[in-house]
Every structure is written in C-alpha cells, then in structure tokens.
C-alpha cells in the first residue's frame, strides 16, 4: 500500500552504538512484509540519517506523518513491529514509548545551523543534500562573486575558528589571500581528540557535503586548488562517509577541473591521523601530512604565510567550514544576528557527564551555563547536586556551580579561567573529586605531549607527580603553591597550545576548589570519596547480619568473621577497592 510516512532512525555515533543499524533494518523488513510500497520508501521512508542530538535516548526514531512528527526513544528491533502496526498502519502512536516532555525542552533553546541538516539529509546520498539547497552557495560564489567579496562576507559574519583558538575566520582567509604564492592549500582539521568530544565526528557522519562545500568556498576565496581533510583513523564511519561524499562530488563535477564550467578547479584528499592529540595543533598537523612526526614548530611564520610544504595554507576545523555554506546562503547579517558582540553565531557542544539529557547540542553564543544545564540538559542525573562544568577539554577549566549565570562565549569563559575550546562540556556532580579531575586531564596531556619542548615534557610530568601524591595521601604543605608556580611556568614557556593550556584544569580547580585540595593534603581525606588510597572501610557491627557477601567479594581476603555474626575488616590487608561496599545489601559497610 502507498503511505506518506517518513521514518528517521538516528545513525549518529550513539545511535549506532545503541543498535541503530538493527532498528533500521527491522523497519525496512517490517515495511516490506506489510507490502508498503517501495516507491514511497525511496522518497520518504527509512533514511539513514546522522545524529539527532539527544544521544542519551538512543536509539531515537522520528515518525513523520501528514505534516506531524512523533519521536520514540530507546527503540529496539523487537519494538518495530508494534510501531509499524499501531502507528504507521493504525495511525495511533505507541504512547509508552514516546519521548517525554524533556525532549521538547532539549531543543527549545537550541539554534541549529551546522546541525540543521544532520538527521534531515542522507549523508550517503548527494541528491539528498542537493535537494536541501546544497552546492547552490558554491555555484553562486563561483559564478557571480569575486574572492574579496567572499572574504568580506565571512569577515562581516563575525565567525571565529571553532577549533578552540577562536581566531577570526575572515581575517585568516584575508591574510592567506594576500600571501604571495602560486600554490596555496586549504586543510580541514578533523583531528578531534578531546576526551568526551564528538562534535566534528557527528557533523561529518551526518552531513559531510557541508564540509566539502565550505572547503570549496574557502579555496576560491584564498586562491587554492588543493585541499586535505586530516581526520583520525579512529572515526571509521566518518571516514567512510567522507570518502563516499568526495567520490560523489567528483562524479557531479563539484570537485575537479572547471567546476560549474568556470576556471576554478579544486581537489580534495584525505589524510588519516594516528590519534595523536598534539596533531590538532596546526603546525603539528602540517608536519604529519608531510610525512614527518607530528610535532609543532615555533611561530611566526604562520601557516597562512608558510604552511604545508612551505606554501600559504588555511587550516579550519570541521565546524567552522560547515558554517560557511549557510553564511553564503543566508547572508552575513543573518549569521551575525546570533551570539554576542564579539562571539557571533552558534556553537556545537558535546554535553556529557552527570546530566540527564546527554547529547549533541547547538546553541547561540552568549547563552548561559544555567540554561544549558537545567533547561537543555534537563538537570543533574539522579537529583545530585551540581558541582562544576568542565569546558574546553584538557585545555579548559572547571566552572563552579555558583557561576551558572556565566555567558558561554570566548571572552566570558576565558575570564573565568576556562575556554570554549572545540566544544566539550562535561557536567560534574558532588560525587566528582576536583583534585582527581585535575589529575585526569594532566595525565592525558602529559601522555599526549610530543616531548619537543622541556616545559611541556617535564613540566606536565612534575604536575602529574604532585597531583598523584596528593590523591594518594602523601600531599605535603606547599604542594598547592608548587602546583601554581609550576603551572604558570608551563603556560608561559611551552612551545605550542598543548603545553600553554595544559595547566588550565589545575589552575581553575585551585581557583574555585582550593579547599578540596587542602582537605586532601591536610586531613588526608577525599570529600567526594573518589581517591581510593584516602578511603577507609569499616563494618558497622549493629547493622552487619553476618551474611558473608562482603567476605566473598573481597579480593584481598581482608574480611573475617563467623556466619550470622558481625564481620571485621583488617585495615592492613584492605586494598580499598570498594568491593565490600558494593556487595553489602544491608549498608553495614562504612566508607570515609
């Protein structure tokens, strides 16, 4: 039978991990079994779409029918038959599987530009992107604009680099345009390495042609005929879809020679990165593309003057480039109408941690942290108390709960001791230890340091040693001052952005949570009960039933006692693993 239903299954990273492929196939099979016309499917049924945003509820399925849309959450393959029978055939949604009221709240304050077509276009079908207006901005630019007009449009929009540094994109393009040289390059930096960040990955997986189009327009503006996408090999689906998109663009002659029958030609190649965090830094990325070890070099000269193979090079990250077609299509004034005076447009964040609505969000610059956490994010998971919000990944800092009225923009976050970064946003609650968080991020940056400069190579190692000592109950008076002094030295003397920003989590945590560091050092206590070597376990005799569950769970044979009589923990043998605490059903194991 014919049907006007549109079924969209979330096939972003979280959707696939939750079983999106099986759900997609279940819809296809069930619709076929019920003899729903395949021609209808070709036009509007199960599209393989990108990330729909609310990753915590995956697999998400959106049913579009007669102009209305209904969304289901936590969908499994065995639920598909009932959805098809009752909703698609019968016309009555399955109420108990619908998303709750927080779904609308999640989207209410978002403004989608980069993510506008993710989940709406088929990332594996160029015709789907073209039908949504894709490649029309490129055609208009190549046929009716001059490069200076493109640069002025981007400059007036106020867009700044979304990779972390926030450098004005229009100014970067202008500098590259003015730089002397017959050969110039455009590089898309898709080497997204922040823990918990998946913004660039989702954009490429959901709408790869927007990135290609941004590169085309940027290349025309600066006078480049060659581009590279540097993407980490750990993103297999993103790489696969990007390769397919590039292939399709060549087939339609949107890439290659004489694009749109003009004199402009442009080619794109993909370069796979091995997952080195330092290769997110532009000069290290350039070295990697050239076949050298990914290590940064001192600047100047900057890449816009002397970059890839000593030629003028513009490097923009995925999100920056994906904005470009929309700016050209709707105009700089439209884009600049969002955001603040100095931070225009929107920003994509990966909202993770102790938050109800984890997922991918796009919000206007200048929105407050409180609006993101309590309205879009739905508040703290498990009704726990909010402690801090970590922004900017390993290069960022922690903003305390008392500063939720802080605007999310480049200037406000920098003033508070953090950064926008590439868009990681981790929500922490009362069960997170801020000393341990500082240690975690320093451990990451220390391991990812390329080792070229001493301040970063040695300084981060010394920071890690002090933090480790504090979390293990061996902190000493003066350690806080040592951390501050060493952090300032690493920031000042390091060669590249990795080392210059590595101490940010330490300095911000000391700024807002100094008392927690002091408690670790002075009292040998971890208020959040996270640092294992500072914990002490004991059994409360008045509650112990002598069931033996704790004794069975203990891997160190540190618990003794007779059946149905109170047990005891030998502190000398206890390894503080917490197995007894988890195993006890009567809450007779105390942890302090």
Cα–Cα distance between 187 and 538 in angstroms, integer?
58
User: What is the DSSP pairing of strand 589-591 with strand 47-49?
Assistant: unpaired
User: Where do the structural domains in the chain lie, given as residue ranges?
Assistant: 6-100, 126-336, 346-429, 434-522, 535-591
Q: HSE of 224 in the Cβ direction (CA atoms, 13 Å)?
A: 31
DSSP codes joined into one string, 200-257:
HHHHHHH-HHHHHHHHHHHHHHHT--EEEEEEETT-HHHHHHHHHHHHHHHHTTSSBS
**pLDDT number for residue 52:** 59
**pLDDT number for residue 38:** 28
What is the CATH number that goes with domain 346-429? 3.10.20.600
CATH topology of domain 434-522: de novo design (two linked rop proteins) (1.20.1440)
CB atoms within 10 A of CB 315: 25
Backbone angles phi, psi at 489, to 5 degrees: -65, -40
Instruction: List the one residue out of 510, 440, 531 whose CA is nearest residue 523.
Output: 531
DSSP alpha helix (H) spans, 145-192: 147-157, 169-178
Cα–Cα distance between 216 and 322 in angstroms, integer?
11
- Tokens at 252, concatenated: 């339609």
**pLDDT number for residue 175:** 98
Cα–Cα distance between 471 and 449 in angstroms, integer?
23
Q: Residue 578 burial (CB < 10 Å; 0-12/13-18/19+)?
A: middle
Q: Which whole-number Å values give the CA distances from 322 to 27, 78, 335, 395, in the listed order?
A: 31, 37, 13, 23
Reading the chain (592 residues) residue by residue, the pLDDT tens digits are: 556 778 888 877 778 888 988 998 898 888 888 876 522 232 233 344 456 567 778 888 888 877 778 889 999 999 999 998 888 888 899 999 998 766 678 888 999 999 998 878 889 999 999 999 999 999 999 999 999 999 999 999 999 999 877 899 999 999 999 999 999 999 999 998 888 788 899 899 989 999 999 999 999 999 999 999 999 999 998 999 999 999 999 999 999 999 999 999 999 999 999 889 999 999 999 999 999 999 999 999 999 999 999 999 999 999 999 999 999 999 999 999 999 999 999 999 999 999 988 888 999 999 999 999 999 999 998 888 999 999 998 889 999 999 999 999 999 999 999 999 888 899 999 999 999 999 999 999 999 999 999 999 999 999 999 999 999 999 999 999 999 999 999 999 999 999 999 999 999 999 999 999 999 999 999 999 999 999 999 999 999 999 999 999 999 999 999 999 999 999 999 999 999 999 999 999 998 8
What is the CATH number that goes with domain 126-336? 3.40.50.11540
* Cα angle: 456, vertex 460, 464; to 5 degrees: 175
Q: Domain 6-100 is in which class?
A: alpha beta
Cα–Cα distance between 317 and 246 in angstroms, integer?
17
**pLDDT number for residue 137:** 98
* Cα angle: 484, vertex 490, 493; to 5 degrees: 135
Q: Which residue has the tokens 């039933």?
A: 545
CATH topology of domain 535-591: Alpha-Beta Plaits (3.30.70)
Whether the Cβ atoms of residue 9 and residue 76 lie closer than 8 Å to each other? no
Instruction: List the one residue out of 240, 153, 247, 150 whose CA is nearest residue 204.
Output: 240
Q: Residue 524 burial (CB < 10 Å; 0-12/13-18/19+)?
A: middle
**pLDDT number for residue 524:** 94
**pLDDT number for residue 249:** 98
User: What is the DSSP pairing of strand 185-190 with strand 313-317?
Assistant: parallel
């Amino acid at each position: 039978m014919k049907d006007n239903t549109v079924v969209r299954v979330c096939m972003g990273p979280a959707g696939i991990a939750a079983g999106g492929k099986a759900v997609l196939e279940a819809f296809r099979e069930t619709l076929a079994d019920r003899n729903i016309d395949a021609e209808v499917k070709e036009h509007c049924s199960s599209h393989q779409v990108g990330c729909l945003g609310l990753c915590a509820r995956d697999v998400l399925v959106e049913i579009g029918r007669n102009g209305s849309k209904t969304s289901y959450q936590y969908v499994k393959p065995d639920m598909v038959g009932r959805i098809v029978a009752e909703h698609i055939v019968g016309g009555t949604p399955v109420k108990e599987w619908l998303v709750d009221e927080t779904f609308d709240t999640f989207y209410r304050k978002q403004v989608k530009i980069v993510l506008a077509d993710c989940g709406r276009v088929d990332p594996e079908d160029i015709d789907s992107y073209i039908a949504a207006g894709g490649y029309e901005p490129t055609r208009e630019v190549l046929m009716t604009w001059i490069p200076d007009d493109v640069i002025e449009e981007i400059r007036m929009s106020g867009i700044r680099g979304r990779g972390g540094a926030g450098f004005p994109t229009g100014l970067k393009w202008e500098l590259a345009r003015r730089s002397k040289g017959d050969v110039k390059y455009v590089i898309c930096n898709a080497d997204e390495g922040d823990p918990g960040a998946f913004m660039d990955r989702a954009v490429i997986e959901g709408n790869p042609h927007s990135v290609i189009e941004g590169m085309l327009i940027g290349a025309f503006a600066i006078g480049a005929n060659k581009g590279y996408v540097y993407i980490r090999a750990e993103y297999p689906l993103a790489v696969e879809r990007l390769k397919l998109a590039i292939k399709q663009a060549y087939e339609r002659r949107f890439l290659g020679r004489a694009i749109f029958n003009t004199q402009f030609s442009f080619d794109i190649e993909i370069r796979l990165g091995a997952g080195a965090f330092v290769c997110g830094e532009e000069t290290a990325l350039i070295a990697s593309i050239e076949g050298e070890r990914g290590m940064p070099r001192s600047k100047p000269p900057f890449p816009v003057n002397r970059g890839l193979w000593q030629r003028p090079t513009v490097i923009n990250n995925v999100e920056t480039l994906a904005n470009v077609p929309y700016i050209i299509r709707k105009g700089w004034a439209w884009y600049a109408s969002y955001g603040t005076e100095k931070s225009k447009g929107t920003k994509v964040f990966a909202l993770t941690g102790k938050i109800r609505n984890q997922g991918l969000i796009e919000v206007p610059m200048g929105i407050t942290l409180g609006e993101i956490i309590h309205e879009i994010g739905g508040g703290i998971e498990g009704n726990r108390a909010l402690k801090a919000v970590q922004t900017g990944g390993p290069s960022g800092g922690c903003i305390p709960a008392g500063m939720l009225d802080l605007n999310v923009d480049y200037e406000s976050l920098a003033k508070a001791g953090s950064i926008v970064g590439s868009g990681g946003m981790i929500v922490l609650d009362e069960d997170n230890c801020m000393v341990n968080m500082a240690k975690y991020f320093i451990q990451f940056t220390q391991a990812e340091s390329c080792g070229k400069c001493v301040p970063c190579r040695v300084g981060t190692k010394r920071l890690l040693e002090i933090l480790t000592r504090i979390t293990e109950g061996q902190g000493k008076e003066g350690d806080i001052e040592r951390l501050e002094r060493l952090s300032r030295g690493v920031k000042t003397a390091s060669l590249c952005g990795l080392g210059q920003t590595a101490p940010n989590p330490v300095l911000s945590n000391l700024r807002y949570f100094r008392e927690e560091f002091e408690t670790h050092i002075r009292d040998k206590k971890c208020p959040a009960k996270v640092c294992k070597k500072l914990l002490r376990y004991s059994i409360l005799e008045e509650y112990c039933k002598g069931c033996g569950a704790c004794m069975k769970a203990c891997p160190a044979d540190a618990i003794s006692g007779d059946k149905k009589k109170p047990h005891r923990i030998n502190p000398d043998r206890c390894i503080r693993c917490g197995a007894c605490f988890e195993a006890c059903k009567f809450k007779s194991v105390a942890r302090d």
